[in-house]
Chain A
Amino acid sequence: MQRMQRLVGVFVIGAALLGAVLLGVAVVITGTSQVERPTSGFLFGIWKVVYAAEPPSLVAVLGAIGLALLLAATVAVLEERVATRSRRSLDAEQRPLAPRIVMAETRGVFAGPVTVTVLIPAHNEEDCIGATIASLKQQSRPPERIVVVADNCTDRTVQIAEDAAVTVFPTIGNTKKKAGGLNQALAAILPDLGDNDVVMVMDADTVLDQGFLEAAVQRMTDDRALMAVGGLFYGEQGHGLIGQFQRNEYARYAREIRRRRGKVYVLTGTASVFRPRALRTVADERGRTLPGVPGDVYDTIALTEDNELTLAIRSLGGLMVSPAACTVVTELMPTWKTLWNQRLRWQRGALENLGAYGFRPSVTRYWAQQMGIGYGAIALLAYFVLIIVQLLAAESWVWFPFWIVIGMIFMIERVVTAWGGGWRARVLGLLVFPELFYATFLNLVFLKGILDISLQRTAQWTHLTRETAQEGDRR
């Protein structure tokens, strides 16, 4: 497994580099047009400008557009194929959660109306646990049962939970943090649950938006083959510019999921609802078709257990959705240091999960995503190098009308895709460059993640994990 983990990093960055090199070779072979000598003229009769008006060759433009569409279509088609095969699968060995199999097993059986049990893993959460419980009870469709999974709490968390009249489940000898605590609670709770007694796992510092549970219960009622409902998260207010960067990112993510008609990338750890069948089947398949310890719902080795559980359910053919009505507010990282640690953990976790799952069809999109990020990092770096060389070597500033138009398209895209985040999000998007620098920051995290996994830097990582665990791990 360790060797495979190492290879993930090499493979992802190798594939991205290969793409860039191939494109470079193609450029050299086909011959590059020499940079046109700029001319100067007067704008509005008074402003002297130096410009190069020639656009790239038509072949280059059409080739690049074709390549982009081809790549996007390939990923979409592959993902659709995987989804369709799961939907139609009758292979109970490989895809026991596939809709047709679940439907056949539950046909004509009424297992009672949908009930909701909420599990809240809590480790010293006295500041927020009261508000979380209150927000659950105030939902238009409140849960039947709330269970606080108290993991090595030394503060007033248990007291507050008991005062709020909810069940407290203390973990026993748990050393595997959140995932370990949840495994203990699920092992105790799952055997008594019927097919429609769904389980919601939510973080102690998360507040659900009104209507979340009502929408989730409706979905689970309407579709007995649906295995999980994920929350759509958006960023809390505050934290200045760094907060706005994250809010823009989450607003775009939510928009993307809505465009995909709720098809999830990741079932967020902040709030997701599961049908017991999904959790039981995952536990049964661990050590067989899924990585992890047999009998565990959550893989305690995975750094990002929410991402891992998504891959697990997907691999077993389960249907999942993130409806637009199921929104939660998520905590933001207040400093660059904490953001770096959080994202490095996500990045490393995603790569490790890919290593654990290998090249099975159900994770095709996740491989493509990683390679896409890798290529994006190389492309952005090349762009910055070009701009810097040009700035330092040019005799005067040269305007390129063609590229100004392209830049304006990017501006529009930044604004349109962040539109749902409000006017602050739109203004930040309109400026383009701040978000480019934010993207560069995330690219650096990506490269560090690749480097760490390739060099197997575990010792350093253990330290970092403890640090980020305290800072909060949102997704």
Chain B
Amino acid sequence: MTPDGVLLPSSLLGSPFFAVLSTLVALNTLIFVTLAITKMLPAIHFGEVFARRGRRKETRSIYPDAPLDA
């Protein structure tokens, strides 16, 4: 049989193997592109969004009488 492609028979592209592989790669690509987009966008820090000012009750400075930082 002479392959229609460069080296492999073009019927391979219609095989269940190829369908599963291409779907798997498609899903993976979409997973990774989603992660890539989340890395591009500014990071959200929920802790800071909901942080209340002056949450600290005491100073954390090494100087015991240092002012509280908010």
Contacts and interface: CB of A to CB of B under 8 A. Distances in A.
B60 A225 contact: yes
B49 interface: no
Interface in B11-33: 12-14, 16, 18-33
Given A223-B60, A379-B32, A389-B8, A417 B40 contact: yes
Interface stretch (A28-36, A148-156, A234-242, A335-343): A28-36
A302 to B, nearest CB: 30
Contacts of A386: 21-22, 25
A153 to B, nearest CB: 36
A222 interface: yes
Interface stretch (A39-47, A66-74, A452-460): A66-74
A400 to B, nearest CB: 10
A72 B30 contact: no
B12 to A, nearest CB: 5
A33 B8 CA distance: 22
A34 B62 contact: no
Contacts of A259: 43
Given A56-B26, A383-B28, A393 B33 contact: no
Interface residues of B, number: 45
Interface stretch (A278-286, A304-312, A404-412): A404-412
A127 interface: no
Nearest to A382: B25
Contacts, number: 151
Interface in A15-68: 20, 23-24, 27-28, 32-35, 56, 60-61, 63-65, 67-68
Contacts of A68: 30-32, 34-35, 38
A220 B34 CA distance: 38
B25 to A, nearest CB: 5
Contacts of A393: 3-10, 12-13
A293 to B, nearest CB: 32
A394 B24 contact: no
B36 interface: yes
Interface string A126-162: 0000000000000000000000000000000000000
Contacts of B22: 32, 35, 386
B65 to A, nearest CB: 9
Contacts of B30: 56, 60-61, 64-65, 68, 406
B33 A409 contact: yes
Interface residues of A, number: 63
Contact of A34 (B14, B31, B32, B34): B14
A427 interface: no
A383 B37 CA distance: 19
A220 B28 contact: no
A220 B62 contact: yes
A108 B59 CA distance: 10
A113 B63 CA distance: 8
28 contacts: A23-B24, A27-B20, A27-B24, A32-B22, A32-B23, A56-B30, A60-B27, A60-B30, A64-B34, A65-B31, A68-B31, A107-B58, A108-B64, A110-B64, A221-B62, A222-B60, A225-B60, A261-B45, A379-B28, A383-B28, A385-B21, A389-B12, A393-B3, A393-B6, A393-B8, A394-B13, A410-B36, A413-B37
Interface of B: 3-10, 12-14, 16, 18-40, 43, 45, 47, 58, 60-64, 69
Given A63-B27, A393-B12, 5 more contacts: A35-B19, A64-B28, A225-B60, A379-B25, A393-B6
Interface of A: 20, 23-24, 27-28, 32-35, 56, 60-61, 63-65, 67-69, 71-72, 80, 103, 106-111, 113-114, 195-196, 220-225, 256, 259-261, 376, 379, 382-383, 385-386, 389-395, 403, 406, 409-410, 412-413, 416-417
